[in-house]
């Protein structure tokens, strides 16, 4: 029987890295501060002691350089997990990602691949302001040739990372810093969570909510509050955005007739719009009310606590959207 441990999101990532590096000597990891004792919020701590500096490579502040190095190592046959400690500065690597990493299999006529795994960490709050808090999941989901995941639990953080490492495609896994200390029951042994397989976190009959990434926790809390009013909320966690499991979302909305997408990205041209379009284009769906997007305003993140409270999505905004949908 597989042993189950109650560990944090960060510990689950660390365990996935340690297990994959033990299983396959071609697995390496690289990034800024990756060999520090604290280990990038605990996710890489202890790896350099276990596997050495040849497989746990620290880089200077040179995002484009380390992404290009990861690409080259991957083409040479290594399984590279590249950590961008701040997704905001991953943008210095866009040439390597968009013009090489995502295109490698396509340009080689499927004869070669460059399955680099990019762990991109998203910040929020604590006065981090506009340069340490953006989430570019919609950008990367729009790019063919790269898988995009947004795990919301420690179980999925470990399983999706292992699936990515031992898969054949380049992947970007967006990890929200606010989730790193949250605990979940996680199998001790290695396991894999498939891309394109959403999960229904809570069953309901009145309204369907698609909760992307870190939005899951507040959505579950709101659903519990509304259950006291005999309002039944179904919550779908997509887990991955590219590919996305449209069937699970559509089947839920066919039952409830209502859809709310809660997205930690900007409102316009975002993942929420794509999910809603997927649903309303289905000929089998009959809507009882218009779909609703709950997302960030089309503005940069403010630094003050009072403005942050207005800017970010919270339980009050989600609750308001549900009540509007039920009118």
Domain CATH number, residue 173: 3.40.50.970
**Contact indicator for 227, 254 with CB cutoff of 8 Å:** no
Residue 192, in any domain of the structure: no
Residue 250, in any domain of the structure: yes
Entry pTM: 0.96
Residue 194, in any domain of the structure: no
Residue 109: per-residue pLDDT? 92
Sheet holding 171-176, edge to edge: 56-58, 27-31, 79-84, 117-122, 171-176, 147-149, 240-242
Domain boundary residue, one of 187, 220, 240: 187
Span between the terminal Cα atoms of the chain, in Å: 49
Residue 127: per-residue pLDDT? 56
Range of the domain at 269: 199-326
Other Cβ atoms less than 10 A from the Cβ of 246: the count is 18
CA angle 265, 285, 314 (to 5 degrees): 30
Query: For strand 147-149 and strand 117-122, is the pairing parallel, antiparallel, or unpaired?
Result: unpaired
**What is the DSSP-derived secondary structure letter of residue 23?**
H
> Distance (Å, rounded) from C-alpha 282 to C-alpha 260?
16
Other Cβ atoms less than 10 A from the Cβ of 281: the count is 10
Residues 11 and 148 in one domain: yes
**Model pLDDT for residues 200-239, shown as the tens digit of each residue:** 999 999 999 999 999 999 999 999 999 999 999 999 999 9
Residue 125: per-residue pLDDT? 56
CA–chain centroid gap for 326, Å, is 29
- Which stretches of the chain drop beneath a pLDDT of 70? 125-128
> Distance (Å, rounded) from C-alpha 318 to C-alpha 313?
7
Query: Residue by residue, what is the 3-state secondary structure of 297-320?
Result: CCCCCCCCHHHHHHHCCCHHHHHH
**Model pLDDT for residues 153-200, shown as the tens digit of each residue:** 999 999 999 999 999 999 999 999 999 999 999 999 999 999 999 999
Q: What's the total number of domains in the chain?
A: 2
Residues 34 and 182 in one domain: yes
Residues 51 and 173 in one domain: yes
Give the pair of three-digit tokens for residue 211. Answer: 């909760």
**Contact indicator for 44, 17 with CB cutoff of 8 Å:** yes
Residues 17 and 129 in one domain: yes
Residues 128 and 238 in one domain: no
CATH value at residue 229: 3.40.50.920
Question: CA neighbours within 13 Å on the CB side: how many for 176?
Answer: 25
Residues 227 and 294 in one domain: yes
Residue 37: per-residue pLDDT? 82
Residue 152, in any domain of the structure: yes
Residues 269 and 157 in one domain: no
> Distance (Å, rounded) from C-alpha 191 to C-alpha 173?
17
Residue 309: per-residue pLDDT? 86
Residue 2, in any domain of the structure: no
Domain boundary residue, one of 187, 210, 233: 187
Residues 114 and 257 in one domain: no
**What is the DSSP-derived secondary structure letter of residue 53?**
T
Residue 262 dihedral angles phi and psi, to the nearest 5°: -105, 115
Residues 128 and 63 in one domain: yes
Residue 40, in any domain of the structure: yes
> Distance (Å, rounded) from C-alpha 296 to C-alpha 24?
41
Residues 177 and 29 in one domain: yes
For the chain, state the CA radius of gyration.
20
């Amino acid at each position: 029987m597989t042993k189950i441990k109650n560990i944090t999101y960060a510990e689950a990532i660390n365990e996935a890295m340690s297990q994959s590096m033990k299983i396959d000597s071609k697995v390496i990891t690289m990034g800024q501060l990756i060999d520090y004792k604290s280990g990038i919020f605990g996710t890489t701590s202890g790896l350099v002691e276990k596997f050495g500096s040849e497989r746990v490579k620290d880089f200077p502040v040179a995002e484009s350089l380390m992404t290009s190095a990861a690409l080259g190592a991957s083409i040479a046959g290594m399984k590279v997990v590249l950590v961008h400690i701040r997704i905001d500065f991953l943008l210095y690597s866009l040439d390597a990602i968009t013009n090489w990493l995502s295109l490698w299999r396509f340009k080689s006529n499927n004869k070669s691949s460059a399955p680099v795994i990019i762990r991109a960490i998203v910040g929020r709050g604590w006065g981090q302001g506009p340069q340490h808090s953006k989430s570019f999941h919609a950008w990367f989901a729009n790019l063919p040739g790269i898988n995009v995941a947004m795990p919301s639990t420690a179980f999925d953080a470990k399983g999706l990372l292992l699936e990515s490492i031992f898969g054949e495609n380049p992947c970007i896994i967006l990890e929200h810093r606010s989730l790193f200390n949250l605990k979940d029951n996680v199998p001790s042994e290695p396991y894999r969570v498939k891309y394109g397989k959403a999960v229904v976190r809570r069953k309901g009959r009145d309204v369907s909510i698609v909760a992307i990434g870190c939005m899951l926790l507040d959505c579950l809390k709101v659903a519990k509050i509304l259950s006291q009013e005999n309002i039944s909320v179904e919550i779908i966690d997509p887990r991955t955005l590219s590919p996305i499991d449209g069937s699970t979302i559509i089947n839920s909305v066919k039952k409830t007739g209502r859809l709310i997408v809660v997205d930690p990205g900007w409102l316009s041209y975002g993942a929420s719009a794509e999910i809603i379009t997927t649903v309303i284009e289905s000929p089998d769906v009959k809507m009882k009310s218009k779909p609703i997007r709950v997302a960030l305003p089309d503005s940069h993140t403010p630094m003050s606590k009072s403005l942050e409270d207005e800017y970010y999505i919270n339980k009050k905004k989600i609750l308001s959207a549900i009540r509007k949908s039920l009118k």
